[in-house]
Amino acid sequence: MQNLQTHPAQRTQVLSSSPRKLLIATTIAPSLRGFFIPFAEYFRARGWQVDGIAQDATSCPQCVAAYDHVWDIPWSRNPLDAKNLLQAPSQVRELLREHQYDLINVSTPVASFVTRMALNHYRDQGRVKVIYTAQGFHFYKGGSPLKNAAYLAIEKVAGQWTDQLVVVNREDEIAALTNHLIPQNKVQRIPGTGVNFNRFNPDGISEVQVAALRQELGLGAGDRFFLSVAELIPRKRIDDILQAFAKLGDPTVHLVLAGKGELLDPLQAQAIHLGISANVHFLGQRSDIPVLLKAASALVLVSQHEGLPNCIIEALYSQTPVIGSDIRGTRDLLQGGSGLLVGLGEIASLTESMRWVLNNPQEAEVMARQGRRGVLDYGIPEVLQQYEALYQTVLGEIA
């Protein structure tokens, strides 16, 4: 493990000569960047020292800039990788001994398990508090019974090494309580890690931007499109969207897929096989998601499982109608008429939902406005205020 990069502004402590020290641990750098940079900025502005560890963290310029220190650690997303148990635990303990962290917030499966296991002895001594942010348990309704049993057993073991469990959806909250993963008063539901609503305010997107996008896509004056913002991986079930879209049979409607992943070639081949390739646009990774959302007739996300999908929160705040699979997280966001829910794998129902959006634009707009009201508390400031209160409560338990 190396401290290859340290943020240049060695922290002037604004609140105390002995600041609180927070370590955020995720398995890979994209999680440290994508979910927790607002945490680093928020708590550092309040005088905390905030460090981060992840695989290849020092190769992430945004992480280097946002955290006081970032550290590489040789764990892997593969739970069977020997490094996870043979190398990483000792390095986690070394970091704690050297930096004397008050609080460690862990997230993502491997980092969460290994860090909690490595530090349990120090927890027992009252030297550190550990919070686990579960952004979707790997056991869930509809999952493989064998995998569900294995992941549930792991969570039960690791729950004994946890001071506070944060879940992001109602199904996981119920699962944590009914399976007694951790005492009831140590479970709290917080809606994700927050979305930057300033970026997704539809009033900030100009018609010029929308027109330029439509021109890029080659859309005619009356053409409309559905949008998917998702990795091209099996659990996102993009093939379901392609099949449902093919059944629409409307040459003035397009499907736009923003994302990259291992299934790009098979999905492109499927679009050709279905005879819809001329109307399906594989855009890869995009930086203009707010513009895409404003221009789209609806966002479609029919994943096998999610925790609390940010792309749906972003769409709702953008007042873009949403069609989603009836699963945890998505169900929380679209309940009560805030969007359209379809059964997992129900292609015909998905087609009918897409057709309803096209045929009922005014009703879809009303639905989208209701959805926006439902996520107003899911912004970064609101979520971080909840975490700040939680951190203070947990730290107050330290003698």
Element (H, E) at 135: none
Instruction: Return the pLDDT at 398.
Output: 52
Q: Which residues are within 8 A (CB) of 274 and not within 5 positions of it... i.e. 6 or more apart?
A: 242, 243, 246
Instruction: Return the pLDDT at 239.
Output: 98
Locate 263 and state its tokens.
Answer: 């299934």
Residue 128, classed as helix, strand or coil, is: coil
C-alpha separations of 21 from 48, 67, 79, 114, 150 in Å: 6, 12, 28, 20, 34
pLDDT digits (tens, 9 = 90+) for 363-374: 999 999 999 999
Rounded-to-integer distance, Cα 33 and Cα 35, Å: 6
pLDDT < 50: residue spans in the chain: 1-17, 399
Instruction: Return the pLDDT at 253.
Output: 98
Instruction: Return the pLDDT at 297.
Output: 98
- Spell out the alpha helix ranges (H) of the chain: 29-44, 61-66, 83-86, 88-99, 109-124, 145-159, 170-178, 207-217, 238-248, 264-273, 289-295, 310-317, 330-334, 347-359, 361-374, 380-395
pLDDT digits (tens, 9 = 90+) for 22-33: 999 999 999 999
Instruction: Return the pLDDT at 180.
Output: 96
CB 127 within 8 A of CB 152: no
Regarding pTM above 0.85, the answer is: yes
The domains found in the chain, sorted by start residue, are 5-194+380-395 (3.40.50.2000), 202-376 (3.40.50.2000)
